[in-house]
Structure 1
Amino acid sequence: MKLKNYAKVFLFVLTAALFSCGGSDDGSGAASSITVTANSSSVFVGESVTFTVTNNLGNNVTSGSVLEVNGESISNPYAFDTTGSFQVTATNGGLTSSITISVQAVPVPSSITLSTNSDSFWFDDGQTSLLVLTDLGYEVTLQSTMIAESGTVTNPVSFDNPGTYNVVATYTLENGTVLTSNTVQLKAVESTHSTKVMIEDYTGTWCQYCPRLAYAVEQAVQANSNIIPVAIHDDNEMLFPFATQMESAFGVTGFPSGRLNRTINWNESTSQPVSLLSNRQNMGLAINSSIQGGTITAEVKVHYDLKVNSQNRLVVYLLENGLVYPQVNFYNTDPSSPFYQQGNPIPDFVHDHTARTVFTGIFGDDIPAAQSVTGNTYTANYNVSVPSSVQNTANLELVAFVVGPDNKVLNVQKADLGENKDFD
């Protein structure tokens, strides 16, 4: 009996030793070391350094650690105010770690550069921002003084009057030396061109409802001469060679259909195109043309008040007025229509503004980016044979317009053939 009790005690002690005295294999024991690191080991005077303390278990213990330099506690992050080599010591729960930080004197710049995000803008509602950098790559815009002919200017820069302004910046160093920048030329631009709107009327002599839209076009044109009409015929009598291509591009699936500035569905009101006339455009157009024998010579100019930052294209139409063809008329029995009792078809319907051909690609020819800048005039010249479809050269007119990358018309101009239509 006594031996049996000793055996039980021995087994208990052995078991306790096995399960309580051994090392921890699951990583849950107390940390035995810490490591301090910095986001940079070499900084300039006044530049902040951020320290991080981790223990050997991988835990971030920065918040519970004390940082010291030469026995004095420091904040985290910390900016050194003198040059030298400093040992930063982190302490956490009796564990320590050190790192050496090299602090150098702030380099003194020898020059500054002034730049702008845009060198031209509308004087009445535009502005630009200036940037001043030292030759060492530091921004000192807020610490610099910028001066133009109008006096000291501040970011963002604007001017009360149109004109060209030369701006320089100065920056004063701690030793009193004044650095002066290069000169940046800014153009506060005045708008000189009126905005015009184009209506394209997709029509055909076979279309019974088309007289309605043709009448709406004439009403809009009478209301404002800056509304310019073009009739795109898809019929046998006055077919425009590119009609099908345009219908596909601009979503024309039924007749009649009106498009403002090529891409906007027209609701046939006068107010809709008139409302677009208030949209200021960056450019205007001029047209000068003549005809000799069977050849049309045309010069189209595009003048930019203000540069554009996207690809522009130029399109030039040749139109003919006074074409007489029968027109199917749904409104012959409608007493509220101007076409009431005019016949169905109307035998002597006059078709105006009929597109005959295009001097450019139907979606436009590129205007070089270098030509679409502030103050520049781009010129395009054309020599085109009179199309065989033309009935009377005395009734011809040209419509020229600029489109953006989305095919939307930016501005448009119209002139009779032989007329010198200047910018307006």
Structure 2
Amino acid sequence: MNLYQTAALLALLVTAGCGLSSCSGATDDSETALAVELAYDKASIDADGESAVTFTVKQGGVDITAKATISYTYGEETKELAQATFSTNVAGTYTFTATYDGQSSKPVSITANEITVVKSQFVRRICVMEFTGTWCTFCPSGALRLQDMLVRNFDGIYDLMAFHLDKDPMAIPQSSTLMKKFKQDGAPACTVDMREGMDISSGPAKAKKACENSLENYPAHCGVAIASVYNEASKTAEVTVKVTSEKTSKYRLAVYVLEDGIVYPQADGSITRDDYVHNHVVRKLIAASGLVEGDDLGEIASGKEATKTYQVNIDKAWNIENLSFYALALDAENRVNNLSVCAAKNGKTDYEYNKNN
């Protein structure tokens, strides 16, 4: 075999080898991407609003939980989780899926077990936070319809708080914080028990449903009492709040100053009403933490009471005769479980018990 024949044979063998082994200098673009995997720390939880499952999302062994979106389906409802944890008061089976960069994980199922609910000895009050502004042309009608709905359906068991927004002279920093927290971008809007936000410009139907949900699925497991001692000379009030828990649970306490009877111009449709009276206006958050969720009370054992006292400076622009203190007891999920209200000038509200207890 001469030199040319040897070279030709080698070339033929190399070509055949490449054909059998798919030789290529480039990466195959059809290679399957790494799968998104959704893991969980428990397959079942109690439907008590506090027992929770924690999820972890990985891709190729790398934790991408913070970048992924986790959503669940229950019945015909599909919702996205704000965090990688889930709790509920509604028993049933929930299906979860994680999505990242266009890829979805295999669905996983979590069961929320029904628990026996013992009726609380305390009256369950509803906290309705309304978001408004003097510049908002739809807010007067929205507020009127919201309050009418509350009076007709939940009279005696609701407390309304008006958080003013933006350049409104009655606005406070916590108003915009709460709007962002509950993903609202306009007024009028509201949240019930700090659970979820909703637009109420077209009516209070969603707010009514949220109130019903609080009463039916999130019963009280604590009572709140509040008292204020006002010092005329120093223009200060000593506010004492007590929280008694019916089960061992963690709590936070948020105390707010509210004022009624503030006269200030308000846009109303196509006109401005110069003599408009603003009520239940949130003037200030009283919390060492500065958080809208208030201060940490820690864990309160079943049947035990926690007490916290605040010294509040009464601003000279506020009318002490029209001021109130609202004390919100938040549960382990930072939702309002119960609340109590008293007048700022030597007011006192004891624990409110159900009449049939």
Give the corresponding residue for 2:186: 254
Which AA in structure 1 matches 2:297? I
Match 1:378 to one of 283, 290, 306 = 306
Q: How does 1:125-140 map to 2 (within 5 A)?
A: none
Q: Say if 1:190 and 1:305, in contact at 8 Å, map to a contact too.
A: no
Match 2:138 to one of 183, 187, 209 = 209
Give the corresponding residue for 2:337: 410
Aligned length: 221
Q: Say if 1:232 and 1:240, in contact at 8 Å, map to a contact too.
A: yes
Give the corresponding residue for 1:286: 225
Q: How does 1:121-270 map to 2 (within 5 A)?
A: 191-223=120-152, 224-234=155-165, 235-266=167-198, 268-269=204-205
CA–CA distance in 2 between the matches of 1:349 and 1:221?
21
CA–CA distance in 1 between the matches of 2:172 and 2:255?
14
> How many angstroms does 1:265 deviate by?
2.9
1:421 equivalenced with 2:349 (yes/no) = yes
> How many angstroms does 1:275 deviate by?
4.7
Structure 2 SS opposite 1:200: strand
1:142-169 Cα distance to aligned partner (Å, 9 max, x none): xxxxxxxxxxxxxxxxxxxxxxxxxxxx
> How many angstroms does 1:407 deviate by?
2.6
Give the corresponding residue for 2:286: 359
Structure 2 SS opposite 1:363: coil
1:257-309 Cα distance to aligned partner (Å, 9 max, x none): 1111123234513632245234422101001112112101110010112222x
Q: Percent identity?
A: 26
Taking structure 1 as reference, are residues 222 and 247 closer, same or farther at Cα in structure 2, changes over 3 Å only? same
Provide TM-score, normalisation by structure 1.
Answer: 0.49
Structure 2 SS opposite 1:345: strand
Taking structure 1 as reference, are residues 374 and 406 closer, same or farther at Cα in structure 2, changes over 3 Å only? closer
Provide TM-score, normalisation by structure 2.
Answer: 0.58
Give the corresponding residue for 1:348: 275
Q: Stretches of 4+ moved more than 6 A in 1? A: none
Q: Say if 1:357 and 1:387, in contact at 8 Å, map to a contact too.
A: no
CA–CA distance in 2 between the matches of 1:353 and 1:230?
5
Which AA in structure 1 matches 2:236? T
Structure 2 SS opposite 1:252: coil
Q: Say if 2:251 and 2:296, in contact at 8 Å, map to a contact too.
A: yes
| Unpaired segments ≥5 residues, structure 1 | 1-121, 123-187, 333-343
Q: Say if 2:132 and 2:162, in contact at 8 Å, map to a contact too.
A: yes
> How many angstroms does 1:363 deviate by?
1.9
Give the corresponding residue for 1:277: 215
Q: Say if 1:189 and 1:306, in contact at 8 Å, map to a contact too.
A: no
CA–CA distance in 2 between the matches of 1:302 and 1:205?
35
Structure 2 SS opposite 1:328: strand
Q: Say if 1:199 and 1:261, in contact at 8 Å, map to a contact too.
A: yes
Give the corresponding residue for 1:149: none
Which AA in structure 2 matches 1:238? M
Q: Which has the larger radius of gyration?
A: 1
CA–CA distance in 1 between the matches of 2:282 and 2:326?
9
1:395 equivalenced with 2:325 (yes/no) = no
Match 1:295 to one of 236, 243, 246 = 236
Q: Say if 1:193 and 1:283, in contact at 8 Å, map to a contact too.
A: yes
Q: Say if 1:203 and 1:232, in contact at 8 Å, map to a contact too.
A: yes
**CA RMSD of the aligned region, Å?**
2.2
Which AA in structure 1 matches 2:275? D
> How many angstroms does 1:219 deviate by?
1.4
Structure 2 SS opposite 1:214: helix
